[in-house]
Amino acid sequence: MKRVLLKLSGEALAGEKHTGFDEATCVQVAKQVKEVCDSGVQVGVVIGGGNFWRGRTSENIDRTKSDQIGMLATVMNCIYVSEIFRSVGMKTKVFTPFTMGPMAEMFTKDAAVECLEKGVVTFFAGGTGHPYFSTDTTTTLRAIEIEADVILLAKAVDGIYDSDPKLNPDAKKYDEISIQTVIDQKLGVMDLTASIMCMENKMPMMVFGLNEENSIVNTLKGKFSGTKVTV
Ligand code: UDP
């Protein structure tokens, strides 16, 4: 594996608190990503925003404006996690699809690939820059653009199940599943727009639990215990 796109859910960063940041969780992720980078794998990162805000959070304000707040939440997350990554010895860069003045750099494919090739962990903050999209869509879009080998989807659950494991104790976990089946059975691993983009552009995915010990490193070392999504 030469280049991967790691998607971290905003909620997973919040740990038990479910909001804001849980520093211990972020440091744990940082140490794993450092190990992955040190082994020569190039890492891009997309982070959700659910630990602060979702477009659907308020019914009283305009959806476009609400989504803009969500996109800004992802910028805060990326700046924070990027700094935690630096604190354990990695080089990082935060890109956004809109101008953020001195806070981040404008995303272009060329600039991002240049960073990745230099071993800089490259954050894609601010979503796609458009309302009505999600950080799942951002993940597939950027993974395709930077020509990643695979998407690493680190979630609160440890893989893809045939039904919601929180609601159904008999839910069965898949070791491997095709993206077509994910779409046909409407399995809620990513939103539909993102899943269809993965299918059309043949972008495979590894889905695993962020809170499982050493799961990011294990996934890349072949000790994978989540669900592989084939295309
Ligand atoms: N968002 C957006 N466009 C994007 C990415 C994100 O409008 O391209 C907004 C949207 O409001 C979303 C929020 O940012 O609810 C946080 O993103 P995330 O994907 O974590 O949201 P979720 O899928 O959990 O709603």
* Residue 44 marked ligand-binding: no
pLDDT digits (tens, 9 = 90+) for 139-163: 999 999 999 999 999 998 899 999 8
Ligand 1 within 6 A of CB of 28:
no
CATH code for the domain of 25: 3.40.1160.10
Give pLDDT < 70 ranges for the chain. Answer: none
pLDDT number for residue 156:
85
Q: Both tokens of residue 138?
A: 């951002």
What residues make up the domain containing 44?
3-230
Ligand 1 within 6 A of CB of 10:
yes
pLDDT number for residue 188:
84
Closest among 189, 141, 132, 143 to 44, alpha carbons compared: 143
Q: Please state the atom number of ligand 1 nearest to the C-alpha of residue 70.
A: 14
Distance CA 32, CA 42 (A): 13
Q: Please state the atom number of ligand 1 nearest to the C-alpha of residue 138.
A: 8
* Residue 52 marked ligand-binding: no
Q: Both tokens of residue 230?
A: 């084939």
pLDDT digits (tens, 9 = 90+) for 173-193: 999 999 999 999 999 899 999
End-to-end CA distance of the chain: 17
| Residue 28 parent element (H or E) | helix 23-38
Ligand 1 within 6 A of CB of 55:
yes
Tally of domains within the chain: 1
Other residues' Cβ atoms within 10 Å of the Cβ of residue 222: 6
- Check: CB of residue 204 under 8 Å from CB of residue 231: yes
Indicate which residue's Cα is closest to atom 23 of ligand 1: 134
Query: Which residue type occupies 150?
Result: V
Distance CA 115, CA 44 (A): 10
